[in-house]
Amino acid sequence: MNDDPTPFASAEGLGFFRVNVADYPVSRPIKRALDTFFEWFGLGLYKTFGARAGDYNFRKTRSASDVDCLIIHLLTKGSRVTCWKGSHVKPLPHMEGENNLWLVPRAALRRIPDIAPMEATFEEGGFMIRDPGTVVEISKGHAITFAVGRKEVLRKSWKPMKMPRSKELEDEVALLHDRNVGVNIEYLEEDPHT
């Protein structure tokens, strides 16, 4: 991952996702992992998260035993992450966090049986793929984060990403479709009167 700022809601942003998640050979380990869970998947979330005190997850409860979506973090050099092993299958107390994720009080995590913190430092950067119910804290560095999921999740659970229509953007979406990857997108049309 480089440090060049790329606007996510753009053709360049989708190109970054394609190269780092959907394309072989660059993203071989990530794409191989996703292909074991999904015949087809679509991009539903694309954000960056920096270091922030607190333990968060992206989903309060798991809908079923089958995996219907996953979170991918591309982490910068020196990032430090704590994952709470087993938290994705336990009922947890939640409150809405300031970053639109679900905050889980650490004191509650420590009291729940069969949940344990696992800390990792990504000295050279790297990636992490996880269940959206797994509680995580990024205490150092930052992550470019993607949520991918089955068609039903994209249609029913996630709002589309709104992006201005352009030929370049439509071309990137087509390249992703060629790789059996969808995009939960709503094109914003330019107002001809402005």
The pLDDT value given to residue 155: 87
With a cut of 50, say whether residue 154 has pLDDT above it: yes
Bond before 113 cis per omega within 30 degrees = no
With a cut of 90, say whether residue 141 has pLDDT above it: yes
**8 Å CB contact between 137 and 82:** yes
The pLDDT value given to residue 73: 96
In which band, very low, low, confident or very high, does the pLDDT at 2 lie, cut at 50, 70 and 90? very low
The pLDDT value given to residue 8: 79
User: What strand order describes the sheet that includes 135-140?
Assistant: 95-96, 102-104, 55-57, 135-140, 79-85, 116-122
pTM of the predicted structure, to 2 decimals: 0.88
| Interval 48-76: pLDDT, tens | 999 999 999 998 866 556 789 999 999 99
Instruction: Classify the C-alpha dihedral 110-130-158-161 as positive or negative.
Output: positive
The pLDDT value given to residue 4: 45
